[in-house]
Structure 1
């Protein structure tokens, strides 16, 4: 299947042209009026308007909660990382050896020593049911909808990301920052989007840390404001036909969006050069680790959901380790082995940094991908790769004020099937919503006006939420 991929040249390019959207989000406990995003065509103005509606409507502002999703694009091998089977035959267990961890009796990969030492502050889930999940686009695990598989369902890309739902509900977050941010996005197909909710709830995105707030050649801050003023002038010509005053409101939110992109508050949050040298040295200079440091800055500033696209290329993802003879993926030894020390430093430094700042209870950190990999090594004619395995995967969870220092679930002796305690995408979504204070029965209308529940089946993971 051919997938259209497009990465904007700069952050302001994510503000899309005018499109008629008009979607209402419904919940049994609440109903929010649709934003003017369909009229404005600008994602940030739509979000700013929605925030003001919440304030004027008397919506309370609980303590700021956030999620950082470390998205291991391509599907990390569970059997070579967090669910090793050292007693299995070599063609199953692979080339890596297990090491002990801070949890007695629990072992993980030898290339994750930092996480092994910190595992008493984390949770491993070894029984995630990823059936129906695929990648390019990566939709099922990021939407909790089993029908969100574009290769089999042409409506799949319309299902909104969990992050987009949270952006719609968590209106008390910092108005100077977008609620849903994707960092290091190598391809549009790596993340889920606003879908039925409209472009107002697409992620705010950038190609890299340094260029996120760079304007394209020839476009200055003054010209940006000038273009915004031109929009205002054109709208004024039609204002006499707009008895509701929506065009006037749209213009005001557009001005706020321009101020956010060019203003000091957002620039400060995205500027990692403001970090002390000691912190930057702790994270290291690898691009992925720099993104993790930026993610911490963003949630600290009030962003509700940050996804880090943990990939180096724009195909199906760097963790898609099919084999050395199937470029650009590589196999387990040459492809996966170099990734693990970088990931190990990233996840432990991020969790440790959040803890030191007193943020760990308010920030839920998840590291996961689309699925696991085949129990037997050497698939697809390779000698060292593993193919997709949506039957089961493993993930790491930290923070969120949850109960950690445990392993949830288990697989059979070859790590091919779930042995006990299956955890579904709906369960993960319910756990995320529980942390964020979003109603578990939230729904939205599709383009036929039919209500769709985000969590059709699933509940918060009891072992975590207690």
Structure 2
């Protein structure tokens, strides 16, 4: 090859790499997904401290407010107006009961550290969701300014094994109306927002569209990121021979520049290139490669598939995976069970039995924890189940429960956690903690601790001003091994 032709080839290859594969395969990468897709390819900013027990985190984030009384903190002796019609069942922990819709979690309770004194001072969805996603209290003016916990982890510890440092499965649900995207890099910058496997939501407002009275819990959801679907024969060599490649890439680049997404992609293209060219990385996102028996164990539901993908990603080396579930175009807002007529929900006790509600997360969560344990991954993976708040002890006149920040339940499992215990006690109606309350900042501090991140670690914002990784909160020492 002549020197001139070699130079042109190298220039074009550089263009493909740097200006990103914006036109690869049947689906072009839109500028809207670039901030999440083009991730940090440099080394980490900190070395985990000696407290590090977890190599990975699976953050089971159930946006909407899951009812504590009808899941992990039943009150069988309370009046029916408080306890509902569900029975309480024994768990593998002596004297500890869960609601009857959680038989699988009850069976593996010895692998869990349940916190029944989760509490904070807000009943507002958006404020509480940002608090649980970031560990930082915010005002209405700060809904998009604070980085998610996963964003801090990504910045400090970086990506691993060619996978983005913060992955959201699917990362497309939006509270509202109007819909709000709370999966953000905040003051760290858009490049630290999560890589969302669902791309951009087709229906960002979950309130839009007709909802069935009794939708099927069985959903074969496609979780293979659209950015990774390119024709197998579409190699870089073939792309170089396409006469229109340069003009297509240049136009895409202009679009990105106009959108303001260029800072997110500039200098971080290496991760995107690896995602597109490494079969082992692409395969990690494909749950259809799992045996039927495994998929059945998780449940062929949306939450089942999402938990299975989280396990696959951690097994492939992903550092921080958030499973997001709660705002759904098929089911509406699953956890916000006020039972207003347009929700078309039954009484809360009946709703929780449905395979896409509490019964569905019970099956999927238990299967994932058991699967991680059997594969030898639980000792290095921190699993955290969290929702923004609990629900009112008293069932309302419509048969639903309303917002209740004062008391809720969550759990830890896996790396760094003392399993087989319940931390905290709520009163006889699960209305208020009787022991020390733990809020979202304490959950975040515990997560950082298990990853070996000191909460006071300084992280520069986009203007270079140092901010602590976490501005308040304390590690829940009772939960630690």
Counterparts in 2 of 1:33-432, with a 5 A limit? 42-48=35-41, 50-51=42-43, 54=44, 65-132=55-122, 134-136=124-126, 138-147=129-138, 152-171=139-158, 173-174=160-161, 176-188=162-174, 189=180, 191-207=182-198, 208-213=221-226, 221=234, 253-254=268-269, 256-311=271-326, 313=328, 317-323=333-339, 325-327=341-343, 331-338=347-354, 339-378=357-396, 381-382=397-398, 384-432=399-447
Rounded Cα–Cα distance in structure 2 between residues aligned with 1:232 and 1:214: 16
Deviation per residue, 1:381-424 (Å, 9 max, x gap) = 52x10100011110122111311100100112221111102112
269-278 or 160-169, which deviates more: 269-278
Q: 1:353 to 1:255 in 2, by over 3 A?
A: closer
Deviation per residue, 1:101-138 (Å, 9 max, x gap) = 11111111011111111111111100011323632472
* Cα drift, residue 293 of structure 1: 0.9
Coordinate RMSD, CA, aligned: 3.5
Q: 1:135 to 1:355 in 2, by over 3 A?
A: same
What SS does the aligned partner of 2:141 have?
coil
Q: 1:366 to 1:274 in 2, by over 3 A?
A: same
Counterparts in 2 of 1:5-44, with a 5 A limit? 13=29, 16=32, 42-44=35-37
What SS does the aligned partner of 1:179 have?
coil
Deviation per residue, 1:415-438 (Å, 9 max, x gap) = 111110211212111110111122
Deviation per residue, 1:305-328 (Å, 9 max, x gap) = 111122351598311111152515
Rounded Cα–Cα distance in structure 2 between residues aligned with 1:60 and 1:392: 33
Aligned match of 2:10: none
400-409 or 444-453, which deviates more: 444-453
* Cα drift, residue 43 of structure 1: 4.5
* Cα drift, residue 168 of structure 1: 0.7
275-284 or 356-365, which deviates more: 275-284
* Cα drift, residue 274 of structure 1: 2.0
* Cα drift, residue 74 of structure 1: 0.9
Rounded Cα–Cα distance in structure 2 between residues aligned with 1:153 and 1:11: 36
Deviation per residue, 1:275-304 (Å, 9 max, x gap) = 233322322322211111110000111111
Rounded Cα–Cα distance in structure 2 between residues aligned with 1:366 and 1:58: 23
277-286 or 328-337, which deviates more: 328-337
Q: 1:400 to 1:215 in 2, by over 3 A?
A: closer
Rounded Cα–Cα distance in structure 1 between residues aligned with 2:28 and 2:185: 17
Rounded Cα–Cα distance in structure 2 between residues aligned with 1:330 and 1:231: 52
Rounded Cα–Cα distance in structure 1 between residues aligned with 2:186 and 2:456: 19
Aligned match of 2:12: none
What SS does the aligned partner of 2:85 have?
coil
* Cα drift, residue 13 of structure 1: 4.7
Q: 1:329 to 1:214 in 2, by over 3 A?
A: farther
- Asked if the contact 1:69–1:307 (Cα under 8 Å) also holds between the matched residues in 2, the reply is yes
- Asked if the contact 2:132–2:386 (Cα under 8 Å) also holds between the matched residues in 1, the reply is no
Rounded Cα–Cα distance in structure 2 between residues aligned with 1:101 and 1:296: 24
* Cα drift, residue 45 of structure 1: 4.0
Q: TM-score, normalised by structure 1?
A: 0.78
What SS does the aligned partner of 1:164 have?
helix
What SS does the aligned partner of 1:415 have?
coil
Q: 1:46 to 1:205 in 2, by over 3 A?
A: closer
Rounded Cα–Cα distance in structure 1 between residues aligned with 2:66 and 2:106: 17
Deviation per residue, 1:329-350 (Å, 9 max, x gap) = 5541343231222111101110
